[in-house]
Amino acid sequence: MKLKGKIVWITGASSGIGEALSVAFAEQGANIILSGRREDALKAVAEKLPNESLILLFETTEYDILPSMVDRARHWKGKVDILINNAGISQRSLAIETHPDVHHKIINVDLLAPIWLTQLLLPHMAEAGGGHIVGISSVAGRIGAPLRTAYSAAKHGLIGYMDALRAEVETLHGINVTNILPGSIRTDVSRNALTKEGEKRGKSDDVIDNGMEPAECARQILEAVENNVPELIVADGPELMMAQLRQSDPEKLFEMTAQFGAETARRYEAGDDN
């Protein structure tokens, strides 16, 4: 097994895609570093794993303590082979009425935090002779998704950072970089999304509730990491088609999103943001 004995650090590991990734990588023989804000949830995930794990409890935007977290992570087994930047938060609000603090928080959590954690770990990966950095972006990081302006901005930015990073470190330092663009995955992402005033939305979307199972998403991500795939869209149906159109026929995509966005905005203003 390619992953046997590897040290895999997963942020946002307490639920959803992060939890599924922890289980999937552990089942392939990896030792997992679990990070998140909820200690009880992280312990529950750790109990599911067949191999040794380490819990690092912190908020990814607590920049002053991140250097100490990186030191603890790399000294646990001597190095970190794979970092999966998975922690994030979404949004459900129209740009025209969204408070600036919402944009600030989402960009901080979804873009600046994974950049900073990656920056802190990079020198140690280079010194160790290589590694793998994974950024969990989104289909919304490829297309402009209505009700998600801040989220799309952050996820587009993460792809840009990871692409530029790959260009710098893949050949010189043996550090591989993979972008993951999930579509609708059956998680609590919609319930935890921020409203126009920055409050938790507290309800899910039909498209999310009918989405891909986190275990299947994790399986595809694991396979992409094993095979050093630079970018993987984990979606099907219209989401996959629209993400692919961004490169093959952007004008057609913009026409589709203009229509879809107008319909979504009208439903939202009428009180139906599902």
**Three-state SS annotation for the chain:** CCCCCCEEEECCCCCHHHHHHHHHHHHCCCEEEEEECCHHHHHHHHHHCCCCEEEEECCCCCCCCHHHHHHHHHHHHCCCCEEEECCCCCECECHHHCCHHHHHHHHHHHHHHHHHHHHHHHHHHHHHCCEEEEEECCHHHCCCCCCEHHHHHHHHHHHHHHHHHHHHHHHHHCEEEEEEEECCECCCCCCCCECCCCCECCCCCHHHHCCECHHHHHHHHHHHHHCCCCEEEECCHHHHHHHHHHHHCHHHHHHHHHHHHHHHHHHHHCCCCC
Out of 63, 151, 161, 268, the active site residue is 151
Annotation says 161 is catalytic: no
Residues with a catalytic annotation lie at 151
